[in-house]
Structure formats: C-alpha cells, structure tokens
Amino acid sequence: MTTRLPVMIRSALGGFVLTAAAMAGITLSAQGLGGHNSNAPVSYAADRIELQDRQNRVVLSGDVRITQAGLSLNAARTVVNYTDAGTLRIQRILATGGVDVQRGNERARGDNAVYDFNRRIITMAGNVRLNRGGDTLNGGRLVIDLASGVSSVDGNASGGSSVGGTSSQSSGGRVTGSFSVPDNND
C-alpha cells in the first residue's frame, strides 16, 4: 500500500517552495502498526524543509509537526530517512529539541526520539515524561512499542537504544511518578 504525502508547509522565511512542490508528488509506502492506521495520509508542517536526495533524507526544522491517524510528533528538528527503490519508504525519523509524541490519551515528552518504522518502535531519551490520563511516569528513557501497545520507562537513558540523552535530573536514575486512585464510595 502507498500513502500520499500531502504538503502543508508553513515557511517563515519563504524557503524551499520548489522542494515542497516536488514532495507533493512523492508516495510513501506505509507499514502496518498494530492499532495504528499506517495507510492514512501523513501530514507535516515546518518552518523549513530541505530535501537531501543523495543521502535519502528530508530535514524538517522549526516547529516541526508530523501527524498520521491520531499519532502526532512535534519537535524543533527532524531528520526523515527513507529508501528509494521505485517507491519511497520511510525507515526512521530522528527528532530532537523538545520532542512531544501524542496518541490517544497518552503523551510522552523527552529531549530526543527515534521512530523506527521497521520495528514499529518509538524510543525517547533524556528527561522523559509519560502522561496517561492522570498518571505520570518520569525517567531517562521510554520505549513505546506501537505494535503491542506496551510502553516501558527506564531510570537512565542507556541501554539498547540508539537515542542519546541524559537521565532525568529529577529522577536521579530511577523511575518516578504518580498514579490516580479512583474514589471508592460504596
């Protein structure tokens, strides 16, 4: 299946209009994510876009917003790596600078994030905060498995992640948080 990539570029400096016009005709092959409609159109907006054909990547910078079927990613800068074998396929998105990912009632924030399309995993590192309803978790690294719907938080931003960062200053290398307790008035 292919996904049409609509262009919604807001350019504060009036740059890269030609690149945006070229991007309008690109089709991306979307891989299925459990519970996530990866065949839905992908929308993006940024102050600047740079298409780097030789490196098979697109760099978006300045108030970057990427959305697809209820999943949104906001950051200061993203690098989108893709393969081009007749049809473009997104392989990975590297986001830096105040990354915010939202899906349903779950919101995660961190310094950096990698969205691995092949593994269907988002890994965030550095001062991570996960909010789900009234519940909050803080730590150094968060792994969101979009296929299974399982999220895990580590106290330090280390491990098998390709995302760098420092552990949360407030958590001291431990996972901290709070959970809401429903009122039982029987």
Q: How many independent structural domains does the chain possess?
A: 1
Q: What is the pLDDT of residues 46-104, one digit of tens each?
A: 999 999 999 999 999 999 999 988 889 999 999 999 988 888 788 899 999 999 999 88
Q: What is the CATH number of the domain that holds 58?
A: 2.60.450.10
Residue 182 included in any domain: no
Q: What is the pLDDT of residues 126-136, one digit of tens each?
A: 999 989 888 88
Residue 41 included in any domain: yes
Residue 155 included in any domain: yes
Which pTM value belongs to this model? 0.71
Residue 181 included in any domain: no
Strand partners, 28: 3, 88
Residue 183 included in any domain: no
Q: Which residues contact 28 (CB under 8 A, 6 or more apart)?
A: 2, 3, 5, 42, 82, 87, 88, 89, 90
- H or E segment and range at residue 163: none
